[in-house]
Amino acid sequence: VLGSLSLGDGDHVLTTQHRYEAVANTLARNAEAWGAQVIEARVPFPLRDPAEIIAAFEEAWTPSTRLLVIDHITSPTALVLPVRELTQLAHSRGAQVLVDAAHAPGQLDVAIHELGVDYWTGNLHKWVCAPRGAALLWVAPPHRGRIHHPVTSLGWQQEFPAEFDWTGTDDPSPWLACTTAMDLHDSWGGARLRSSNHALVREARVLIADALKVELPHPDDPTLYGSMATIPLPGRAQDAPDIWNALIENHKIEVPVISWDERLWVRISGYAYNQPEEYQRLAEALCSICID
Ligand SMILES: Cc1ncc(COP(=O)(O)O)c(C=O)c1O
């Protein structure tokens, strides 16, 4: 999408400090080519009130803001952003909205066309369990003629999405498996599975924060998180790789330990195969590494 848009010299792209690093790089590269500037709204984290999210965007908005690039669920902090409200704000001020929803399919109930967004892209190889490399891009109908695949290949100048169908000889089996993966997600419960995943994480984040004697970084509001949650860890941000290694080597636990915004965090997830006892084990392991 970014490769197809052409912003003007001096235009502003608004994102947040929670954005995925590869997206930050792509934004920086395109902004340099356009002569545009990337601005990061500082969405507070810890977040005390969901209203602080919109307020952060309003504060960072400038008369030159043309494009909003936001996460549906942020990667380092697992925060669900109010996409519909942010889109209303952007459209009322003449900006387009591109949503990085990598984590949303399978975590959130999403009706993309009801969000009003211009562009929305999400992974199916994460929470929907399709094979790696399966993702989807949704483009609002008025923009479809202007969005091109970065690889010019056999479908060039055919209507969207034909241009995306065969961009060179590759293995399309992850895409072909998507419908089966979505059916499987539904057969495991669909909305019920998503809500039991959320319930696991809801209990686990309290358990871990209590064990570590740290404060949870946002209220227990189901609009703010899905099947992942981020919890602060006592310790230095630069110790993240050592703690991650110690969890694997000494406790056989795989979980992201994240250095973000100069602090140390752990991001937990809940899925059909997880049990509450596993978060107890994680809490004990984190206490033994970070506190003892
Ligand atoms: C918010 C976000 N955007 C983008 C990505 C990148 O996804 P992929 O590796 O499938 O390109 C991730 C991966 O974790 C992510 O969390």
Name the residue among 133, 4, 8, 21 with its Cα closest to residue 65.
Answer: 8
Residues of 110-139 as b/e, b for ≥16 C-beta within 10 angstroms? bebeebbbbbbbbbbbbbbbbeeebbbebb
Candidates 123, 126, 175, 267: which one to mutate for ligand 1, based on the most atoms within 8 Å of Cβ? 123
Q: What are the pLDDT digits (tens) for 78-106?
A: 999 999 999 999 999 999 999 999 999 99
Q: What is the mean pLDDT of residues 150-167?
A: 90
The DSSP letter of residue 79 is P
How far is the CA of 83 from the CAs of 113, 131, 258, in angstroms? Answer: 12, 27, 25
Query: What angle do helix axes 276-290 and 191-212 make, rounded to 10 degrees?
Result: 30
Whole-number Å distance between alpha carbons of 168 and 136:
18
Kindly tell me if the per-residue pLDDT of 198 is higher than 80. Answer: yes
The residue assigned the tokens 């003892």 is: 292
Task: Compute the CA torsion angle 280, 284, 285, 286 (nearest 10 deg).
Answer: 100
Instruction: Give pLDDT tens digits for 101-139.
Output: 999 999 999 999 999 999 999 999 999 999 999 999 999
State the pLDDT at residue 284.
98
Which residue stretches of 6-164 are H helix? 21-34, 51-60, 83-92, 112-115
Is the full-model pTM beyond 0.85?
Answer: yes
Of 234, 248, 214, the residue nearest 292 (C-alpha): 234
Task: Give the residue whose CA is nearest to atom 5 of ligand 1.
Answer: 102
Instruction: Give which of 147, 181, 182, 150 is closest to 161, Cα–Cα.
Output: 147
Residues in contact with ligand 1 (CB, 6 Å cut-off): 20, 22-23, 71, 75, 100, 102-103, 123, 135
Q: Whose CA is nearest to atom 6 of ligand 1?
A: 102
Contacts of 115 (CB under 8 A, 6+ apart): 83, 84, 87, 99
Contact, 232 vs 217, CB < 8 A? yes
Percent of the chain scored above 70 by pLDDT?
100
Structure tokens at 212: 């570590």
The angle formed by the CA atoms of residues 239, 245 and 246, to the nearest 5 degrees, is: 90
Closest among 37, 1, 17 to 81, alpha carbons compared: 17
What is the Cα–Cα distance from 82 to 60, expressed in whole angstroms? 16
Pocket residue to mutate for ligand 1, from 15, 19, 20, 77, most atoms within 8 A of Cβ:
20
Q: Would you say residue 157 has pLDDT above 90?
A: no
For residue 224, what pLDDT band results from cuts at 50, 70 and 90? very high
Mean pLDDT, the chain, as a whole number? 97
Pick from 75, 129, 258 the residue to mutate for probing ligand 1's pocket: most ligand atoms within 8 Å of its CB: 75
159 confidence band (pLDDT: 50, 70, 90): confident
CA atoms within 13 A on the CB side of 6: 2
CA of 153 to the centre of ligand 1 (A): 25
Total residues belonging to the chain: 292
Spell out where the chain has E strands.
Answer: 12-16, 37-41, 65-71, 96-100, 119-123, 135-139, 228-232, 257-260, 263-269
Whether pLDDT at 292 is above 80: no
Q: Which protein residue's CA is at the shortest distance from atom 16 of ligand 1?
A: 75
pLDDT tens digits, 226-278: 999 999 999 999 999 999 999 999 999 999 999 999 999 999 999 999 999 99
pLDDT surpasses 90 at 282:
yes
Which residues, in sequence order, are CB contacts of 227 under 8 Å at separation 6+?
Answer: 107, 127, 194, 197, 198, 200, 201, 269, 270, 271
Strand pairing report for 12-16 and 65-71: parallel
Q: Which ligand 1 atom lies nearest to the CA of residue 19?
A: 1
